[in-house]
Structure 1
Amino acid sequence: MRPEHDPAPVAVIGGGLAGISAAIALAEAGCPVTLYEARPRLGGAACSFQRDGLTVDNGQHVFLRCCTAYRGLLDRIGGTALVDLQSRFDVRVLSAAGRSGRLRRAALPGPLHFVPALAGYRLLAPGDRVRALRGSLALSRLDPADPGLDEVTFGSWLAAHGQRAPARQALWDLLAVAALNTGVEEAALGPAVKVFKTALLGRPDAADLGIPLVPLGELHDTAARAAIVGRGGDVRVGAKVSAVEPGPAVVVDGARVRASAVIVATRHEQAAKLVPADAAPGRDTWAGLDASPIVNIHAVYDRPVMPAPFVAVTDSPVQWVFDKTRVAGLRRGQYLAVSVSVADTWIDRPTADLREVFVSALRSVLPAARQARLTDFFVTRERRATFRQAPGSGALRPRSATRWPGLYLAGAWTDTGWPDTMEGAVRSGLHAAGLVRRHLRRRQETAP
Structure 2
Amino acid sequence: MGETAAHRRAHVVGAGIAGLSAALRLAKAGWRVTLYEAAAQAGGRCRSYVDAKLERSIDNGNHMLLAANTAALGFVAEIGASDRLTRPTEAAFPFLDLASGESWTLTPGKGPIPWWIFDKARRIPGTGAGDYFGAWKLAFAGADDTVADCLARKGGDRGVLWRRFWVPLTVAALNTHPREASARLLWLVVRESFAKGAEACRPFVARRGLSDVFVNPALDVIHGLGGEIGFNHRLRAVIHDDARVTALDFGDHKVEVPPGDGVVLALPPGATGDLVPGLAVPRDARPIVNAHIRLPEGVRPARSLAPDLPILGLVGGSADWLFLRDDVVSLTVSAAEDLAEQPAETIAGLMWRDTARALGLDPASAASAQPVIRIIKEKRATLAQTPAALKLRPGPRTRWANLALAGDWTDTGYPATIDSAVRSGAAAAAIVAKP
Scaled by the length of structure 2, the TM-score of the pair is 0.89
Alpha-carbon offset, residue 56 of structure 1? 1.2
Inter-partner Cα distance in structure 2 for 1:121 and 1:254: 60
Inter-partner Cα distance in structure 2 for 1:296 and 1:22: 28
Aligned AA for 1:363? A
Alpha-carbon offset, residue 217 of structure 1? 2.0
- Check the 8 A contact 1:242/1:254 in 2, yes or no: no
Does 2:252 match 1:295? no
Say if 1:117 and 1:291 are closer, same or farther in 2 by CA, change over 3 A: farther
User: 1:307 is paired with a residue of what secondary structure?
Assistant: coil
The match for 1:311 is 312
Inter-partner Cα distance in structure 2 for 1:7 and 1:154: 49
The C-alpha deviation readout for 1:302-340, integer Å capped at 9, x for no partner, is: 222241111101121121001022xxxxxxxx3210111
Aligned AA for 2:32? P
Alpha-carbon offset, residue 351 of structure 1? 1.6
The C-alpha deviation readout for 1:183-214, integer Å capped at 9, x for no partner, is: 11110111111111111112531111110012
The match for 1:380 is 376
Say if 1:164 and 1:11 are closer, same or farther in 2 by CA, change over 3 A: same
Does 2:171 match 1:177? yes
The match for 2:268 is 267
Aligned ranges 1:15-414 → 2 under 5 Å: 15-52=15-52, 53-96=55-98, 97-106=100-109, 108-112=110-114, 114-115=116-117, 120-125=122-127, 129-139=128-138, 141-142=139-140, 149-159=142-152, 164-246=158-240, 247-248=244-245, 249-259=247-257, 260-275=261-276, 277=277, 281=278, 283=279, 285-286=280-281, 288-302=282-296, 303-305=299-301, 306-308=303-305, 309-325=310-326, 334-370=327-363, 371-372=365-366, 373-414=369-410
User: 1:89 is paired with a residue of what secondary structure?
Assistant: coil
- Check the 8 A contact 2:236/2:251 in 1, yes or no: yes
- Check the 8 A contact 1:150/1:395 in 2, yes or no: no
Inter-partner Cα distance in structure 2 for 1:313 and 1:5: 50
User: 1:297 is paired with a residue of what secondary structure?
Assistant: strand
Aligned AA for 2:430? G
The C-alpha deviation readout for 1:119-148, integer Å capped at 9, x for no partner, is: 7334323xxx32332113444x44xxxxx6
Say if 1:64 and 1:161 are closer, same or farther in 2 by CA, change over 3 A: farther
Aligned AA for 1:342? A
Aligned AA for 1:307? S
User: 2:171 is paired with a residue of what secondary structure?
Assistant: helix
- Check the 8 A contact 2:5/2:30 in 1, yes or no: no
Further displaced range: 407-416 or 247-256: 247-256
Further displaced range: 342-351 or 379-388: 342-351
Inter-partner Cα distance in structure 1 for 2:406 and 2:154: 36
- Check the 8 A contact 1:299/1:336 in 2, yes or no: yes
Alpha-carbon offset, residue 99 of structure 1? 1.1
Inter-partner Cα distance in structure 2 for 1:186 and 1:382: 20
Say if 1:194 and 1:4 are closer, same or farther in 2 by CA, change over 3 A: closer
Say if 1:42 and 1:359 are closer, same or farther in 2 by CA, change over 3 A: same
Alpha-carbon offset, residue 113 of structure 1? 6.2
Say if 1:422 and 1:267 are closer, same or farther in 2 by CA, change over 3 A: same
- Unaligned runs of 5+ residues in structure 1 are 143-147, 326-333, 440-448
- Unaligned runs of 5+ residues in structure 2 are none
Alpha-carbon offset, residue 266 of structure 1? 0.5
User: 2:222 is paired with a residue of what secondary structure?
Assistant: helix
- Check the 8 A contact 1:8/1:258 in 2, yes or no: no
- Check the 8 A contact 1:94/1:101 in 2, yes or no: yes
Aligned Cα root-mean-square deviation (Å): 2.2
The C-alpha deviation readout for 1:391-435, integer Å capped at 9, x for no partner, is: 212211101101111111111111101010000000000011111
The C-alpha deviation readout for 1:252-277, integer Å capped at 9, x for no partner, is: 343221231111110100101121x1
Alpha-carbon offset, residue 75 of structure 1? 1.3
Among 426, 433, 438, the alignment partner of 2:429 is: 433
Inter-partner Cα distance in structure 1 for 2:119 and 2:275: 48
User: 1:213 is paired with a residue of what secondary structure?
Assistant: coil
Alpha-carbon offset, residue 390 of structure 1? 1.1
Inter-partner Cα distance in structure 2 for 1:292 and 1:345: 11
User: 1:347 is paired with a residue of what secondary structure?
Assistant: helix
Among 419, 424, 428, the alignment partner of 1:423 is: 419
User: 1:149 is paired with a residue of what secondary structure?
Assistant: coil
Inter-partner Cα distance in structure 2 for 1:167 and 1:118: 14
The C-alpha deviation readout for 1:354-412, integer Å capped at 9, x for no partner, is: 12222223333332252454431120111111000012122111011011111111111
Further displaced range: 251-260 or 90-99: 251-260
Report the number of matched residues: 414
User: 1:298 is paired with a residue of what secondary structure?
Assistant: strand
